[in-house]
Amino acid sequence: MKNLIIECAKRYDADLVGFAPASRFDKEDPIFKIFPQTKTVIGLGFRVLRGIYRGIEEGTTYYQYTTMAVENLEETVMPLALINVANLVEEEGFDAIPQRKSPLILNEEGTTNPEVDYTDVIHGVKVENQIDFLNCAVQCGLGEKSMIGSLLTKDYGPFIRYCFILTDAEIEPTPLFTEKLCDGCGECIKACPGGAISSEGELDTWRCAVYYNGANGSKNPFMPPEAFADFVDRMEIINGTAQFDVEKAKEILNNIYFYPPAKHSYRASICGRACDRACYIHLEQKGVLGKSFNKKFRENEDWKLSTTQFETGKREKEWEFSNKT
């Protein structure tokens, strides 16, 4: 059955397939609360096309990342693979419980998900309603947990999304991924336009939400000159250096939407996951990625727009893509 599952998953666009035996999980793990008979967790990994990041990398097109890398992968491609692999497992007489991540249910109190509107997020739902997706990916041998809590895979680095199936079928396990890709270089931390990741690699999800959604004026071509007019520290917000608590993060977010969301309410990513792009560039430069391309992902200095227009309140001529600095 293992080979049939791999073949089916790949036919439905999974790039990585891994199998974790129940013995790799703590007895209290949510997988056993959801399905106590779990014998195997089947992990499916889907690459985020390098070209989808290209638009934000170049500052030329923004919608593609949100719709193709987040919305369509999560809402179309991944469910299709999940349902087909689950059907196959059930055809063989075993139960198959698909596990898609809800972007709106968060286990940790006081956090948010930058990919969605914070007002839609719900906390306090019992933890067993959501498995630990990152841990499952690691236990399925899909990759390594980096110092900032992203999944790093051999072929695609951090450009990956994943989902799972719990089953009572016993399937030969995939070895754990033992290569050390994350070397603690800190490029991801430096790349964030809002300083949302601490030097220890801890993510402030509210800061991330504010800057994922585009609060840094030097990296947001859609921000009007009068942005954040009611904020006394508007230039600090725009420069990515403002200090704020959760309530103020919400206020900033209420004033930030200069670009429409995608159909399933995913917020447009304006930072374009700069942290992941920087990581990918670093891994590519080190030559540790399994999949190579004819050209490097980034060949020149990263671009940055002048923020003078926010001081003058007038859109300047230089505020053109062709004049990015």
Classify residue 278 by its DSSP letter: H
Q: Is 137 or 279 the residue whose CB approaches ligand SF4 more closely?
A: 279
Least distance from C-beta 186 to ligand SF4, angstroms?
Answer: 5
Q: Is 212 or 319 the residue whose CB approaches ligand SF4 more closely?
A: 212
Q: Which residues bind to ligand SF4, rule: CB under 6 A? A: 114, 146-148, 150, 182-188, 192, 194, 196-197, 203, 208, 211-212, 271, 273-275, 278-279, 282
Least distance from C-beta 195 to ligand SF4, angstroms?
Answer: 8
DSSP string, 84-144: HHHHHHHHTT--EEEEPPPSSB-SSTT---TTB-GGG-B--S-GGGS--HHHHHHHTTS-E
Least distance from C-beta 2 to ligand SF4, angstroms?
Answer: 31
Least distance from C-beta 41 to ligand SF4, angstroms?
Answer: 24
Least distance from C-beta 302 to ligand SF4, angstroms?
Answer: 12
Classify residue 157 by its DSSP letter: B
Q: Is 116 or 182 the residue whose CB approaches ligand SF4 more closely?
A: 182
Q: Which amino acid is at 275?
A: C
Q: Between the CA atoms of 130, 158, 278 and 248, what dihedral angle is there, to the nearest 10 degrees?
A: -10
Q: Is 223 or 279 the residue whose CB approaches ligand SF4 more closely?
A: 279
Per-residue HEC secondary structure of 179-247 comes to CCCCCCCCHHHHHCCCCCECCCCCECHHHHHHHHCCCCHHHCCCCCCCCCCCCCCHHHHHHCCCCCCHH
Q: Is 183 or 318 the residue whose CB approaches ligand SF4 more closely?
A: 183
